[in-house]
């Protein structure tokens, strides 16, 4: 089993203003002369973490990571104005041009896989290769699966679901996303934070294959809880700003690009059906279903992702 590469620090960090409102945190790691790769984090709203740098051989890759609009160290924090899938796609191009990169590998997991597909389909000439994990295509059924009473995930994590459900009065539970949104967009900071913590408790501890169903999860930090919950609810209630089945419909634009699709068999947040549908539409891609949950930290997913990035480095070296 391959493991993550050792911890590294950025050799450059910078602030990049992408419009009158938003300024992004951008960092570069690894070898300045290496194969360029851009890392697209999940959420939306979660931001990058130090372990995200470690999926790439630092001797062979020039690794670009950034916090998407409203996430992490980007400002304004948790800002949702001018924050759509297509604003983020434009931001990726702005970063590429700013850094003087002609083509690069695009790596994304969970929401990052959605964004990677949208970017590559919009700019196929800029993608050398794709590494995708925990596929989320932004379809209504995927959103309902994890967030609504008729979805199915509540049958697998009943302990966590009960906590998520209890935050919303019974007469509002027919549309949990809208009910949460009303609280996440409330003028009272205490109301917003309470809703964000309940939202994060449901999602944050449900990612790994082996976990404690009562463990608080990964969104205990108020800043992270607010940015993730607000951004996810915002994107979900707008259908990820995609047309129906758009990412499957437009796969033909990228079928010539080398790609690896990695998905955990027991991923409850993003069930494997989405990855299967993508692989059916994209038979040239290397499709790997592994014994894991949703988390990029599950050992089998680490093994597959590091193997995929090593293979691309071999191919383009």
Rounded Cα distance between 8 and 239, Å, is: 36
Rounded to 5 degrees, φ, ψ at 201 are -60, -40
77: annotated active-site residue: no
Q: What is the DSSP string of 211-273?
A: --TTS--S--SHHHHHHHHHHHHHHHHTGGG--TTHHHHTGGGTTTS-EEEEEETT-SSS-HH
Rounded Cα distance between 278 and 151, Å, is: 21
Rounded Cα distance between 52 and 48, Å, is: 7
Rounded Cα distance between 41 and 45, Å, is: 8
Residue ranges of the alpha helices (H) in the chain? 85-99, 111-122, 140-147, 158-166, 176-184, 189-204, 222-237, 246-249, 272-281, 299-316
- From the candidates 74, 110, 154, 218, which is the catalytic residue? 110
Distances, alpha carbon 77 to alpha carbons 81, 98, 122, 187, 288, in Å = 11, 23, 27, 16, 36
- From the candidates 41, 123, 294, 295, which is the catalytic residue? 294
294: annotated active-site residue: yes
Q: Which of 137, 125, 48 is nearest to 93 (CA)?
A: 125
Rounded Cα distance between 219 and 199, Å, is: 9
110: annotated active-site residue: yes
- From the candidates 57, 91, 250, 267, which is the catalytic residue? 267
- Give first-to-last CA distance, the chain, whole Å: 23
Query: Quick one: how far is CA 127 from the chain centroid?
Result: 18
Could you list the active site residues?
Answer: 110, 267, 294
């Amino acid at each position: 089993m391959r493991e993550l590469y050792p911890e590294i620090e950025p050799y450059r960090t910078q602030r990049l203003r992408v419009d009158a409102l938003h300024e992004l945190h951008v960092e570069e790691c690894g070898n300045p002369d290496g194969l360029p790769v851009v890392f697209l984090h999940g959420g939306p709203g979660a931001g990058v973490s130090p372990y995200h740098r470690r999926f790439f051989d630092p001797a062979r890759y020039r690794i670009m990571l950034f916090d998407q609009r409203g996430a992490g160290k980007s400002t304004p924090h948790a800002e949702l104005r001018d924050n759509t899938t297509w604003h983020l796609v434009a931001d990726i191009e702005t970063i590429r041009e700013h850094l003087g990169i002609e083509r690069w590998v695009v790596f994304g997991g969970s929401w990052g896989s959605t964004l990677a597909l949208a970017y590559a389909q919009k700019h196929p000439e800029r993608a050398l290769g794709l590494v995708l994990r925990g596929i989320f295509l932004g379809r209504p059924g995927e959103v309902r699966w994890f967030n609504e009473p008729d979805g199915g995930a509540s049958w697998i994590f009943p302990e966590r679901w009960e906590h998520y459900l209890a935050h919303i009065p019974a007469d509002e539970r027919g549309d949990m996303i809208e009910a949460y949104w009303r609280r996440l967009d409330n003028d009272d900071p205490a109301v917003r934070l309470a809703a964000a913590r309940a939202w994060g408790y449901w999602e944050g501890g449900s990612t790994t294959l082996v976990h404690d169903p009562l463990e608080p999860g990964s969104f205990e930090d108020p800043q992270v809880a607010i940015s993730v919950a607000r951004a996810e609810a915002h994107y979900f209630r707008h259908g990820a700003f995609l047309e129906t089945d758009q990412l499957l419909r437009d796969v033909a634009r990228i079928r010539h690009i080398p790609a690896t699709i990695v998905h955990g068999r027991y991923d409850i947040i993003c069930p494997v059906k989405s990855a299967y549908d993508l692989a059916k539409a994209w038979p040239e891609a290397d499709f790997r279903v592994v014994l894991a949950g949703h988390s990029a930290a599950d050992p089998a997913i680490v093994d597959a992702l590091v193997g995929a990035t090593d293979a691309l480095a071999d191919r383009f070296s």
